[in-house]
Amino acid sequence: MKRYALSLLALLTLAPFTSHARLGDTERQCIERYGSAEPPPRFVTDVNTLLPGAHQSATFRYQSYRIEVAFLNGRVVRQRYLRMTAVNGSLNLSDAEIEAILKAESDGGTWKRISPLKGQPGTKGLTGALTQVVGSVLFSNILPTWERSTDNATARTGAGSSTLTLDTPEAIKAEADFRQTRKAGTDRAIPKF
């Protein structure tokens, strides 16, 4: 009986993720999946907080989840899942919910766990390899990170698994380009003394 109840709970937990937005979807596909987007808050500036440099973003509510998406060239390149209703006193996503999202986002491939530091500055060469190994040991349970086999998209949890963010390589590049441009602008604004 207990096994049956756990199977039913897992099925009900996984069911909401069968119709979520997918990386690569258009805005129209997102709206078809879960209705119109929420109006943006009044305090939103011209900088997209989900993905600086994104052309557009939207927030959707689906059952007890909030799904934030950022678009580049009309396609979803970053999305973040957050639970809006506490379960057992927690807003954190469960392992089963994370697995369900990753399964829905598999795009015909598989997700594998990787070092949270993979691809970060200073993680190349022998010293970088050592940094990645140490980082994996220290951070893999704190900030779990996965990589999709089909296109190197990544998924990572926020602190305490309160969010799950998925990125395409285009999102990662756009964010790096935005930061580099911003830094260059800041450097030019510093007077030469």
Poorest-pLDDT segment among 145-154, 169-178, 182-191? 182-191
pLDDT at 11 over 70: no
pLDDT recorded at residue 16: 43
Residue boundaries of the structural domains of the chain: 2-110+152-189, 111-148
pLDDT recorded at residue 53: 75
- The model's pLDDT over 29-58, given as tens digits with 9 standing for 90+, comes to 988 987 888 876 655 455 557 888 787 888
DSSP for 140-164 reads TTTS-EEEETTT--EEEE-GGGSEE
Reported as a pLDDT band with limits 50, 70 and 90, residue 128 is low
- The model's pLDDT over 72-100, given as tens digits with 9 standing for 90+, comes to 999 999 999 999 998 889 999 998 999 99
pTM: 0.71
Q: Using CA atoms, how far apart are residues 31 and 37, in angstroms rounded to an integer?
A: 7
pLDDT at 108 over 90: no
- The model's pLDDT over 158-172, given as tens digits with 9 standing for 90+, comes to 877 889 999 999 998
Using CB atoms within 10 Å of the CB of residue 136, give its burial: 0 to 12 exposed, 13 to 18 middle, 19+ buried.
Answer: middle
pLDDT recorded at residue 8: 37
